[in-house]
């Protein structure tokens, strides 16, 4: 007896056993209902089979996914920096204190590194091995300086005898650049940055006079050309929180320095420099501490500016040895994830720049004197945003607002890191 015959017999027996009820359905009706039941069972089996195929394909993808895809997928709680200048930001959860019951006994899983690029040059996971990051960028800053200078003597607080000079300077700096970063091996990357610089300054002078019209003068200067090329290396020291990244940056003097530009017979600049004119070496240490969904970061640096024998005639004097002041820098802040693709960051950075020492030879009889400029405090509030357009492309916007008199009023940096896997 086949299955369909059994179904028909059971249905017939059930109806016959019902008290007070006559058999209302014919054998053909019972056969139709059995076929409907069989069709429903076959449809359910087909759905289960399709779901199993989907699960098998997902399992196959998970088993064949490469290390780089895992790094982009894992710990997506906080999704550049690098510093930074690194690819799209991401944080990683910490290693659990105890092994869960379903965790197999054996080698402990490696703790994932936080991948966060909150502010340019601060924080970030290094480029994966064999990956090249091409990062075009646009850098713009604006400064406005108003100064009131009094040259004379003060008899009382309200009585001044001498000359009062007011000056106003508007300085604009625009620099497109191309940065390349390459992951040499796990935890180590090299970097090169080639900038082009456009500068424009507008300086106005006003000298009030009691018995004559005020003296007004406005000077406009500009300059453009190749800036100072930079070469850097980054190495991740630790593989667990807090993460330590050591950095070493070398700045060349490929741009025109302040002693390379054209000057008039009085020694006044006729164009603006596009570089510093001095070699510089800057070691620094970056600390990253993930605490989901926030990643805290901090950085300390020391920039050494190498002296140079300029030996340049400027006006009536000769400038000999120039020793630019070194700089000490600190920065700290946090990055916060809004979702898997967007994050923002807040921070503060401060640089203390020592005064520059200059050796000057006066006109005949040729007396030599040394001058030292004042030290500078350059502090800025930091705000950054990062958006991951795709797995290999990100967009980062960094904003700096000057917090001290020596800092630029505003700086905006737009970066578009594009990752290319070479092997």
- Give the three-class secondary structure for 196: strand
The first and second tokens of residue 178, run together, are 């191309």
Report yes or no: 395 and 416 within 8 Å, Cβ to Cβ: yes
For residues 11 and 33, the model is more confident at: 33
Tell me whether the omega of the peptide bond preceding residue 64 falls within 30 degrees of 0, making it cis.
no
d(CA 228, CA 272) in angstroms, rounded, equals 14
pLDDT above 80 (res 104)? no
d(CA 184, CA 423) in angstroms, rounded, equals 12
Beta strand 159-185 with 410-415: parallel, antiparallel or unpaired?
unpaired
Query: Quick one: pLDDT at residue 51?
Result: 84
Q: 229-256, pLDDT tens digit by residue?
A: 999 999 999 988 899 999 999 999 999 9
The first and second tokens of residue 293, run together, are 């969904």
CA atoms within 13 A on the CB side of 60: 6
The first and second tokens of residue 350, run together, are 């401060």
Mean pLDDT of 174-179: 97
The separation between the first and the last C-alpha atoms of the chain, rounded to the nearest angstrom, is: 65
d(CA 56, CA 45) in angstroms, rounded, equals 17
3-state secondary structure 5-26: HHHHHHHHHHHHHCCCCCCCCC
The first and second tokens of residue 198, run together, are 């456009």
The first and second tokens of residue 166, run together, are 């007011």
- Give the three-class secondary structure for 302: strand
Query: Quick one: pLDDT at residue 86?
Result: 36
Which residues, at least 6 apart from 350, have a Cβ–Cβ distance to it below 8 Å? 329, 330, 331, 377, 378, 379, 380, 404
pLDDT above 70 (res 183)? yes
For residues 82 and 21, the model is more confident at: 21
Give the closest residue to 283 by CA, choosing from 307, 301, 306, 305.
301
pLDDT above 70 (res 39)? yes
**Given phi > 0 = left and psi -120 to 50 = alpha, else beta, which region is 184?**
alpha
Tell me whether the omega of the peptide bond preceding residue 242 falls within 30 degrees of 0, making it cis.
yes
The first and second tokens of residue 17, run together, are 């056993």
Provide the 10 A C-beta neighbour count for residue 94.
Answer: 16
pLDDT above 60 (res 89)? no
DSSP per-residue codes, 140-174: EEEEEEEEEEEEEEEEETTEEEEEEEEEEEEEEEE
The first and second tokens of residue 309, run together, are 């024998």
Query: Quick one: pLDDT at residue 58?
Result: 74
Angle at CA 377, nearest 5°, toward 203 and 251? 85
Per-chain mean pLDDT for the chain: 78
d(CA 423, CA 413) in angstroms, rounded, equals 31
Domain with CATH 2.40.160.40 in the chain: 131-421
The first and second tokens of residue 216, run together, are 């007004």
pTM score, whole prediction:
0.69
Mean pLDDT of 58-85: 44
Query: Quick one: pLDDT at residue 241?
Result: 87
pLDDT above 80 (res 69)? no
Classify 131-421 by CATH class.
mainly beta
d(CA 411, CA 400) in angstroms, rounded, equals 5
Per-residue confidence at 17, pLDDT binned at 50, 70, 90?
A: low
Report yes or no: 235 and 241 within 8 Å, Cβ to Cβ: no
Q: How remote is the C-alpha of 303 from its chain's centroid?
A: 20
């Amino acid at each position: 007896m086949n299955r369909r015959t059994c179904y028909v017999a059971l249905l017939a027996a059930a109806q016959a056993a019902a008290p007070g009820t006559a058999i209302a359905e014919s054998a053909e009706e019972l056969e139709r209902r059995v076929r409907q039941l069989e069709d429903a069972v076959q449809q359910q089996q087909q759905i289960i089979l399709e779901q199993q195929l989907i699960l098998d394909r997902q399992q196959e993808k998970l088993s064949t996914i490469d290390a780089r895809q895992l790094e982009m997928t894992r710990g997506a709680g906080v999704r550049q920096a690098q510093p930074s200048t690194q690819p799209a930001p991401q944080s990683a959860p910490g290693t659990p204190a105890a092994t869960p019951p379903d965790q197999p006994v054996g080698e402990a899983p490696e703790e994932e590194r936080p991948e966060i690029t909150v502010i340019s040059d601060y924080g970030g996971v290094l480029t994966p091995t064999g990956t090249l990051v091409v990062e075009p960028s646009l850098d713009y800053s604006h400064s406005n300086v108003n100064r009131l200078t009094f040259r004379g003597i003060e008899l009382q607080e309200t009585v001044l005898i001498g000359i009062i000079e007011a000056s106003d300077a508007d300085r604009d700096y625009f620099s497109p650049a191309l940065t390349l970063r390459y992951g040499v091996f796990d935890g180590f990357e090299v970097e090169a940055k080639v900038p082009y610089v456009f500068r424009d300054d507008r300086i106005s002078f006003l000298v009030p006079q009691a018995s004559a019209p005020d003296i007004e003068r406005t000077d406009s200067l500009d300059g453009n050309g190749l800036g100072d090329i930079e070469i850097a290396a980054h190495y991740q020291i630790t593989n667990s929180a807090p993460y330590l990244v050591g950095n070493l940056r070398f700045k060349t003097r490929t741009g025109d320095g302040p002693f390379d530009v054209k000057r008039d017979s009085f020694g006044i600049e006729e164009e603006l420099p596009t570089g510093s004119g001095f070699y510089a070496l800057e070691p620094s240490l970056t600390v990253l501490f993930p605490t989901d969904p926030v990643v805290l970061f901090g950085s300390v640096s020391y920039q050494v500016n190498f002296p140079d024998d300029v030996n340049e005639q400027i006006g009536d004097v000769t400038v000999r040895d120039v020793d630019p002041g070194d700089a000490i820098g600190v920065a700290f802040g946090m990055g916060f994830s809004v979702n898997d693709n967007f994050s923002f960051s807040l921070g503060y950075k401060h640089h203390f720049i020592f005064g520059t020492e200059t050796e000057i030879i006066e006109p005949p009889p040729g007396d030599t004197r040394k001058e030292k400029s004042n030290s500078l405090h350059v502090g800025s509030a930091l705000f950054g945003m990062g958006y991951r357009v795709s797995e290999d492309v990100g967009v980062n916007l960094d904003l700096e607002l000057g917090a001290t008199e020596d800092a630029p009023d505003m700086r905006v940096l737009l970066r578009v890191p594009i990752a290319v896997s070479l092997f």
